């Protein structure tokens, strides 16, 4: 059963690393097409970025050199990724700290903002929206995820708030093959004997969530069947993250 679940998570062909999405319009060209910057301003920002060895995002260079607002750059990012601009208003870390393990928040540059209802939660990214990551959160939680971007300053404030929140207990393991991933999961299941479990993959990370008590568990076990569930309390679940080190 565990081996089948692991194979299912790689069957969709999703890459082990986030992709650059070269088919999207570059941010600078998008802002140029809307008349927010000139060709000369874009050329100067690209030259500066190149001279700095590629360091810094083009939006940051444009803000620095053209006095563009952070809000305008974020608006352009939302257009580039086809997602909404979200806000940190009503952000309460303690109510969403069980949505995603802290390790994955750091790995993929995101913060959960709020749980609007039992069926909807908001997930914010700083500079790129990763739809496969958002889908993994949706599959794990059973809650529909609305993903978007926030300004860089709001993202930093949100990160600082999340640092002070309490997360479920988590452990990080590493594996060099899918067989080793299945073996690690099996050993954890045999040791902890959870009442229910669910597995999803976020690029290189296999995320196993364990419900330890019958009263707080899901109505379905691994593999996932699509049922809706409430966010658990911190003490009700335990997370295991297995990072796949296999060569692409």
Domain boundaries, the chain: 2-7+167-244, 27-80, 93-163
Mean pLDDT across 78-87: 93
pTM of the model: 0.86
Q: Give 85's DSSP letter.
A: B
Each residue's pLDDT tens digit, 19-29: 666 568 899 99
pLDDT at 230 over 90: no
Task: Take residue 65 and report the two structure tokens written for it.
Answer: 């050199």
d(CA 188, CA 171): 10
Mean pLDDT across 115-134: 87
Percent of the chain residues topping a pLDDT of 70: 90
Q: Are 124 and 134 in contact (CB under 8 A)?
A: no
d(CA 194, CA 173): 18
Bridge partners, residue 210, by sequence? 197, 238
Q: Which residue has the higher pLDDT, 161 or 217?
A: 161
Q: What is the pLDDT of residue 14?
A: 74
Out of 17-26, 50-59, 112-121, 224-233, which region has the weakest mean confidence (pLDDT)? 224-233
Task: Take residue 208 and report the two structure tokens written for it.
Answer: 């196993």
Mean pLDDT across 31-42: 95
Fold category of 93-163 in CATH: GMP Synthetase; Chain A, domain 3 (3.30.300)
pLDDT at 72 over 90: yes
Task: Give 216's pLDDT tier (boundaries 50, 70, 90).
Answer: low
DSSP code per residue over 92-114: -HHHHTTTS-HHHHHHHTEEEEE
* Other Cβ atoms within 10 Å of 230 Cβ, number: 14
pLDDT at 54 over 80: yes
* Other Cβ atoms within 10 Å of 108 Cβ, number: 20
CA torsion sign for 32, 37, 39, 44 is: negative
Q: What is the pLDDT of residue 187?
A: 96
Mean pLDDT across 61-74: 94
pLDDT at 217 over 80: no
Out of 27-31, 95-99, 168-172, 216-220, which region has the weakest mean confidence (pLDDT)? 216-220
Task: Give 196's pLDDT tier (boundaries 50, 70, 90).
Answer: very high
Alpha helices in 70-227 (DSSP H): 70-81, 93-96, 102-108, 131-141, 152-163, 178-192
Average pLDDT, the chain: 89
Mean pLDDT across 89-99: 91
């Amino acid at each position: 059963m565990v081996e089948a679940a692991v194979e299912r998570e790689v069957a969709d062909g999703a890459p082990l690393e986030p992709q650059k999405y070269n088919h999207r319009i570059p941010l600078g060209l998008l802002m140029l097409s809307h008349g927010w910057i000139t060709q000369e301003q874009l050329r100067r920002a690209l030259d500066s970025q190149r001279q700095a060895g590629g360091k810094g995002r083009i939006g940051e260079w444009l803000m620095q050199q053209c006095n563009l607002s952070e809000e305008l750059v974020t608006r352009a990012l939302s257009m580039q990724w086809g997602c909404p601009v979200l806000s940190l208003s009503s952000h309460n870390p303690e109510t969403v700290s069980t949505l995603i393990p802290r390790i994955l928040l750091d790995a993929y540059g995101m913060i959960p903002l709020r749980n609007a209802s039992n069926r909807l939660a908001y997930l914010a990214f700083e500079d790129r929206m990763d739809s496969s990551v958002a889908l993994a959160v949706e599959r794990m939680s059973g809650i529909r995820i609305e993903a978007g971007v926030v300004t860089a300053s709001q993202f930093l404030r949100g990160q600082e708030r999340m640092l002070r929140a309490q997360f479920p207990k988590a452990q990080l393991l590493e594996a060099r093959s899918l067989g080793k991933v299945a073996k690690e999961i099996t050993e954890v299941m045999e040791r902890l004997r959870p009442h229910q479990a669910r597995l999803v993959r976020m690029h290189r990370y296999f995320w196993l969530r364990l419900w330890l008590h019958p009263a707080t568990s899901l109505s379905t076990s691994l593999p996932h069947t699509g049922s809706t569930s409430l966010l658990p309390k911190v003490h009700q679940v335990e997370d295991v993250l297995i990072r796949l080190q296999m060569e692409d």
